[in-house]
Amino acid sequence: MKKDKKTNHEKKRGGHELKKLRKAVRKVQDSKRYEHTVGVEYTAAALAMRYGADMEAAQTAGLLHDCAKCISDEDKLALCKKNHIPVTESERRSPFLLHAKVGGWLAQTKYGIEDRDILNAIVHHTTGRENMSLLEKIIFVADYIEPGRKSAPNLDSIRALAFRDLDRALLCILEDTLSYLRSSGGELDPMTEITWQYYHGILAQNDGRPKEAEPA
């Protein structure tokens, strides 16, 4: 439901729910992670305003996207095993990647979120995926550009781009992430590459001209 279709009563109830969620998330995150969480919440709200998405859904997904981030790798793997959450090869090698999937599961079972789009935005916030919804893109981008982020390259230009062209901002983030992981030898989830291929193809098609080669 779009924000302008909500009654005042629904808006008030939504605000109350967000307040409760903020309090709950604060209990399971250290102060640095919580600051990032609130940064993502409000950046997602700003992007939702810009692109006409449901602002409350964006805030909810932003608040919960890293709700599993402060769970130990060992416990994340145990939670996956116990609850039949599939674990890929790269997630087994680098279990921190699992915080997105486990976060989606917790959002549903612990925080009572039923909206599939919100749950998907949490599950796919680290790698993206093909054909993402508007909310999924908003959370993916907000996670990268929120004001507390300092060290990523091209942040200023990506921040400005995010409010002009969300798909291009998404592609730039994927390119910078791939190039950082390749140069640092970090664990590269194959889904990041699949998402890059997909949006690279779409934007190249929109341009009507071939784009540069895949980033090294």
Amino acid at 18: L
Q: Does 91 bind Fe ion (CB under 5 A)?
A: no
Specify the residue, 53 or 63, whose C-beta has the smaller distance to Fe ion. Answer: 63
User: Whose CA is closest to 127, among 75, 193, 67?
Assistant: 193
Alpha-carbon span 194 to 167, nearest angstrom:
15
Query: Is residue 143 close enough to count as binding Fe ion by CB under 5 A?
Result: yes
Which is nearer to Fe ion, 56 or 146 (by Cβ)? 146
Q: Is 189 in the site for Fe ion (CB under 5 A)?
A: no
Which of residues 3 and 59 has its CB atom nearest to Fe ion in the complex? Answer: 59
Task: Restricting to residues 100-139, name those near Fe ion by CB under 5 A.
Answer: none
- Give the separation between CA 134 and CA 40, rounded to whole angstroms: 15
Q: Which stretch binds Fe ion (CB under 5 A): 4-12, 61-69, 158-166, 190-198?
A: 61-69
**How many residues lie near Fe ion (CB under 5 A)?**
2
Contact flag: residue 66 with Fe ion (CB under 5 A) = yes
Site string for Fe ion, 15-54 (x = CB under 5 A): ----------------------------------------
Whether residue 202 contacts residue 188, with contact meaning beta carbons closer than 8 Å, is answered with no
Nearer to Fe ion, 34 or 196 (CB): 34
Rounded Cα–Cα distance for residues 108 and 170 (Å): 26
Q: How far is the CB of 209 from Fe ion (least distance, A)?
A: 34
Q: Which two tokens stand for residue 201?
A: 């193809």
Report helix, strand or coil for 114.
coil
Q: Where are the alpha helices (DSSP H) in 52-148?
A: 55-64, 73-82, 89-93, 99-109, 116-123, 134-145
- Comparison of 143 and 189: residue with beta carbon closer to Fe ion: 143
Contacts to Fe ion by CB under 5 A: 66, 143
